[in-house]
Structure 1
Amino acid sequence: MPAAVITGASAGLGRALAAALVRREWTVLGTGRGEAALRAAADELGFTAVPGDVTDPVHRAALAEAAGPRLDLLVNNASTLGVSPLPPLGDYPDDELQAVFRTNVFAPLGLARLLLPALTAARGTLVSVSSDAAVEPYEGWGAYGSAKAALDHATAVLGVENSALAVYAVDPGDLRTAMHQLAFPGEDISDRPLPETAVPAFLRLLDERPPSGRYRAAELLEAVRP
């Protein structure tokens, strides 16, 4: 039975991916900072909850230990938007800017580095959830976007350095999530698609294992629509 670690598994895209893999009879270890929400999701969907904050090296080590010597998939999904409403980059509070990079760059890179031996043993797949803000300069999105750009590049380097693995940065598109709502406080974002709509794009990567690189879910979904 293949095994996966998914960060940010209690809600949004992480939860949707965990649900899809469980339906495929994968063993899923899901982590997240909100213990109650994570355990509720794990009980409902059937994955193993490992609560904690991925910015904590001790928690990352616990995840690596729980994953064991072989791992088929790591999805670095957990991230933070930062300050809401979104301030200009020049006015961004230093401590909040550092927190964005800790969560969106250093934590996923740290976890990936710890799990590389287990992923390599299984010739597995590493996925970093990206954003169009990583490549497009949107006003107010400087902290989040630059952090995702850094994660994209780190992910690309891991792909070049680890040829046995499939390594992807994936832009899922605008989704109806709590984090996306924070970017637009007081606005109605119900026109955005639910996270579940992006899941087939990720499954296509797992099924077809194209070359390592950066992919957009919208483009991957075009090939799976009837």
Structure 2
Amino acid sequence: MDTNYMTRVALVTGGSAGLGLALTRALAADGWHVITDGRSPEKFKEAELPDGVTTILGDLTDGDHREDLRIEVERHGRLDLLVHNASTLGPLPMKQLSGVDIADLTQMWRTNIGGPLVLTSLLLPWLRVADGVLLSISSDAAVNHYETWGLYGASKAALDHVTLTYGAETGLTAYAVDPGDMRTAMHQDAFPGEDISDRPLPETVVPSILTLLDQRPDSGRYRAEDFA
């Protein structure tokens, strides 16, 4: 495995919108080569991503798509940062746990936990050689309990656990990061018809994530605001 490339390489899932897009742009501007994915070619076209970004269309729950991502990492020869950003709120409108069925659970688990878990395993060889960082985007719903957020919160709590266990098992630096509320399409979906213009844009959260990566504290769960 040849890692003698000077350019740092990151893989950010779900980079066509929201925090994933903002982080992809910021890393590219800082000289990283960023591999990112998403399901919508229209969103990527609207995003007008800069040079230094490779986009791969597909769904993280699909094995062939995950293999495409692995092949792209192999082509670049290294991986310094893996960011699990892509996620789903599950069926909309969001509902109380008493209304959740197995199909809802399966959809949520495959996207928010299953995809990230198996993708991490695929990419471990490159992360280990580069002494890279594994970072998963969490939520305060992973530790607090809000009506209708139970299924999503449980999936994020599980993602936190999986991420930090990977760190414990491999020695990689691993972070679960709660970005706080943001003005994104996903957040709007959670509050249909409500004005969420008071929430900060995802671009305001990115500097905190970059500071975390720069300071590289011990593995653990952090809030973005801790690094503001």
- Report if TM-score (shorter chain) is over 0.5: yes
Deviation at 1:44, TM superposition (A): 3.2
* Residue number in structure 1 paired with 2:143: 135
Q: Tell me if structure 2 keeps the 8 A contact 1:79–1:104.
A: yes
Identity %: 54
Alpha-carbon offset, residue 95 of structure 1: 1.2
8 Å contact kept, 1:126–1:166? yes
State the Cα deviation string for residues 57-83 of structure 1 (Å, max 9, x = none).
111111011011420011000000112
CA contact (8 A) 2:66 2:119 kept: yes
* Residue range with higher mean Cα deviation, 171-180 or 200-209: 200-209
Structure 1 unaligned residues grouped into runs of 5+: 222-226
TM-score by length of 2: 0.93
**In structure 2, C-alpha distance between the alignment counterparts of 1:135 and 1:11, rounded to whole Å:** 25
**1:31–1:38 contact (8 Å) kept in structure 2:** no
1:156 to 164, 188, 202: 164
Question: Quick one: distance in 2 between partners of 1:143 and 1:49?
Answer: 30
Decide which moves more: 88-97 or 110-119.
88-97
Residue 205 (1) aligns with residue 212 (2): yes
Counterpart of 1:174 in structure 2 is: 181
User: What is the aligned length?
Assistant: 219
SS of match in other structure, 1:45:
coil
34, 42, 50: which one aligns with 1:45: 50
Residues 208 and 224, structure 2, Cα contact 8 Å, conserved in 1: yes
Whole-angstrom CA distance in 2 between matches of 1:52 and 1:40: 17
- Give the 5 Å matches for 1:68-147: 68=74, 69-147=77-155
Query: Following TM superposition, by how much is the alpha carbon of 1:84 offset from its aligned partner in structure 2, in angstroms?
Result: 2.0
CA distance in 1, matches of 2:95, 2:159: 21
Q: Contact between 1:38 and 1:51, CA under 8 Å: does it hold in 2?
A: no
- Per-residue Cα deviation, 1:25-80 (whole angstroms, up to 9, x for no partner): 11011101112212443x43231111110010111111011011420011000000
* Residue identity matched to 1:67: V
Rounded Cα–Cα distance in structure 1 between residues aligned with 2:144 and 2:175: 19
Shift of 1:12: 0.2
Is 2:34 the partner of 1:28? Answer: yes
Instruction: Give the residue type in structure 2 aligned to 1:211.
Output: D
Unaligned runs of 5+ in 2: 1-6
CA distance in 1 between counterparts of 2:186 and 2:93 reads 12
List, as ranges, runs of 4+ consecutive aligned residues in structure 1 with deviation greater than 2 Å: 38-41, 43-46
Q: Do 1:31 and 1:51's aligned partners in 2 also have CA atoms closer than 8 Å? A: yes
2:4 counterpart residue number: none
Q: TM-score, normalised by structure 1?
A: 0.94
Q: Distance in 1 between matches of 2:131 and 2:164?
A: 17
- Partners of 1:40 and 1:184 in 2: CA distance: 24
Residue number in structure 1 paired with 2:21: 15
Residue 66, structure 1, aligned to residue 72, structure 2: yes
- Distance in 1 between residues matched to 2:56 and 2:43, nearest whole Å: 12
